[in-house]
A = this chain, B = another copy of it.
Amino acid sequence: MTDNKPKSASKTSAMWGGRFEGGTSAIMDAINASVDFDRRMYAEDITGSKAHAQMLAEAGIIAAADADSICAGLDEIGKEIAAGGFEFKRELEDIHMNVEARLRELIGDAAGRLHTARSRNDQVATDFKLWVRGALDGLDADVQALQAVLIDKADAHADWVMPGFTHLQTAQPVTLGHHLLAYVEMLGRDRSRIVDARRRLNESPLGAAALAGTSFPIDRDATAAALGFDRPAANSLDAVSDRDFAMEYMAVAAILAVHLSRLAEELVLWCADQFRYVRIADAFSSGSSIMPQKRNPDAAELVRAKAGRVIGGLAGFMVVMKGLPLAYGKDMQEDKEPVFAVADTLALSLAAMTGMIEGALFNKDRMRADAAKGFSTATDLADWLVRELGMPFRDAHHATGALVKMAETKGVDLDQLSLADMRSVEKRIHDGIYTVLGVENSVASRVSFGGTAPANVRSQVASARRRFLGT
């Protein structure tokens, strides 16, 4: 029979061992230990353990003095870690064992009572849920901050006219304020998803133990309440094997990242010399020592790109969870790094985007000039024919097409056609038509709910402040 011990001196193991001095145990440490990244949950681990210890004491499972000692020790450890003086040990594998081992050093045998009626499985799930909950709260604040600067900018530019694009072709004039508020709506849905995800995850796994629950008379309602959960999770097997909250967090994040990538794309476009609609502050651009006038929208490009990381993190973690039997499997340890990476990526992207928008200097003339190009008020003309002359929509379109063609041939804009010219196409046209042809007239006329008229933008700004900023 084959010998069960890896031959550490063999040629092949030397090959792979070369990268991992210390041989197999070094490899196992490297793949298995999680303390290098899960230390980030130290505060949650301490909070969770304190709640558990207090409940154990209140339920009479451990002595009150032991609980006090445990809590004091944990507080001490929290301070040590916060101060940077804690020595994390890889051989203790994860943050939980690092904290527990230190607790034993600090308070002695009482530390051994903390793990009563608990397992690492429910402890990990609890800590990580608390962390993700905090990440959702932070994300909500960050998104709100971006909404706030967008709303301010929309307010300040409620009547600045710019081209409204479809297919990146000028379609109709809109207002810059209206355009910016579109993102406020997207971000509003993101925040709504954040709130839903937070509410849904807010069930406590603590007390599910390894997977089957426990025979100790624990009070799961008490620990749930102490940790701000709405209730204990209803099924212990589910509680330890559920990572929905991580998947949902990343799904919410990915849709948000897509939104940011769209806004970032627009900033990159608008910074191009061909557009020049915006100037991003120096702080968020990079220059060239040789072309001092140049400013590359680096931060916008990076925000655009970082959607890739978030989408990849989501897809990758779904791969991890696919086809896993119940209950806990070590595969689930792959949950934290993508979630941490997504959280960092979004915090940074949102900060950068908020900064860019706040410092953005828009170019009124360039936007106004482009808005007027391409017969962008043709729709207004057609609508006027329908509204004022009662023409059927498709006939009005036909007449408008003829007028646009005429203007194109003459090399003039629609409002530069004479009334005679117009009447050669449709004899009932009268000079009322000129009231809808300028871009200012056009945007001012679009007063349907949600439309681009400056008056609408101003009321939408007020509404957005109420709905999203609570002001």
Copy tally for this chain in the complex stands at 4
Q: How many residues belonging to A are interface residues under a CB distance threshold of 8 Å?
A: 215
In the complex, which of the residues B235, B264, B268, B307 contacts A181, with contact meaning CB atoms closer than 8 Å? Answer: B235
Stretch at the interface among A127-135, A188-196, A416-424: A188-196
Please tell me if A86 contacts chain B, counting CB pairs below 8 Å. no
Distance of A466 from chain B, by nearest CB (Å): 12
In the complex, which of the residues B264, B306, B330, B361 contacts A302, with contact meaning CB atoms closer than 8 Å? Answer: B330
B-contacting residues, A251-268, CB 8 Å: 251, 254-255, 258, 261-262, 264-266, 268
Complex CA distance for A281 and B417, rounded to whole angstroms: 29
Q: Is the CB of A274 within 8 A of B271?
A: no
Of all chain B residues, the one with the shortest Cβ separation from A274 is B274
Q: Please, which residues of chain B bring their CB within 8 A of the CB of A362?
A: 1-2
**21 A-B interface contacts by CB (under 8 A):** A2-B360, A4-B279, A4-B361, A7-B358, A10-B358, A16-B350, A25-B283, A27-B348, A30-B348, A114-B393, A166-B211, A171-B327, A181-B238, A184-B235, A185-B233, A209-B451, A212-B442, A218-B448, A297-B330, A302-B330, A312-B338
Q: Is the CB of B174 within 8 A of A347?
A: no
Most chain-B Cβ atoms within 10 A of its Cβ — which of A266, A283, A306, A450? A450
Complex CA distance for A22 and B29, rounded to whole angstroms: 37
Please tell me if A373 contacts chain B, counting CB pairs below 8 Å. yes
Most chain-B Cβ atoms within 10 A of its Cβ — which of A211, A236, A290? A290
In the complex, which of the residues B142, B233, B320, B400 contacts A15, with contact meaning CB atoms closer than 8 Å? Answer: B142
Of all chain B residues, the one with the shortest Cβ separation from A217 is B448
B-contacting residues, A305-359, CB 8 Å: 305-334, 337-338, 347-352, 354-355, 358-359
Q: Is the CB of B145 within 8 A of A16?
A: yes
B-contacting residues, A355-412, CB 8 Å: 355, 358-362, 364, 370, 373-375, 378-380, 382-383, 386-387, 392-395, 397-398, 400-401, 404-405, 408
Q: Is the CB of B446 within 8 A of A182?
A: no
Q: Is the CB of A16 within 8 A of B142?
A: yes
Q: Is the CB of A323 within 8 A of B304?
A: yes
Of all chain B residues, the one with the shortest Cβ separation from A148 is B12
Report if A293-B408 is in contact (Cβ < 8 Å); known contacts: A392-B109, A456-B213.
yes
Report if A156-B352 is in contact (Cβ < 8 Å); known contacts: A24-B284, A185-B234, A291-B374.
no
Please tell me if A170 contacts chain B, counting CB pairs below 8 Å. yes
Q: Please, which residues of chain B bring their CB within 8 A of the CB of A334?
A: 302, 305-306, 308-309
Distance of A118 from chain B, by nearest CB (Å): 9
Of all chain B residues, the one with the shortest Cβ separation from A384 is B215
Complex CA distance for A265 and B241, rounded to whole angstroms: 14
Q: Please, which residues of chain B bring their CB within 8 A of the CB of A99?
A: none
Please tell me if A437 contacts chain B, counting CB pairs below 8 Å. no
Q: Is the CB of A316 within 8 A of B308?
A: yes
Distance of A149 from chain B, by nearest CB (Å): 5
Q: Please, which residues of chain B bring their CB within 8 A of the CB of A242?
A: 185-186, 189
Report if A214-B378 is in contact (Cβ < 8 Å); known contacts: A168-B272, A238-B182, A274-B275.
no
Of all chain B residues, the one with the shortest Cβ separation from A207 is B448
Report if A273-B370 is in contact (Cβ < 8 Å); known contacts: A290-B382, A358-B12.
yes
CB-CB nearest 10 A-B residue pairs: A312-B316, A213-B451, A308-B319, A305-B331, A112-B392, A308-B320, A301-B330, A215-B445, A167-B296, A112-B394
Q: Is the CB of A359 within 8 A of B115?
A: no
In the complex, which of the residues B171, B273, B321, B337 contacts A170, with contact meaning CB atoms closer than 8 Å? Answer: B273
Q: Is the CB of A31 within 8 A of B251?
A: no
Distance of A360 from chain B, by nearest CB (Å): 7
In the complex, which of the residues B24, B290, B327, B408 contacts A378, with contact meaning CB atoms closer than 8 Å? Answer: B290
Please tell me if A225 contacts chain B, counting CB pairs below 8 Å. no
Q: Is the CB of B322 within 8 A of A237?
A: no
Q: Please, which residues of chain B bring their CB within 8 A of the CB of A312?
A: 312-317, 319, 338
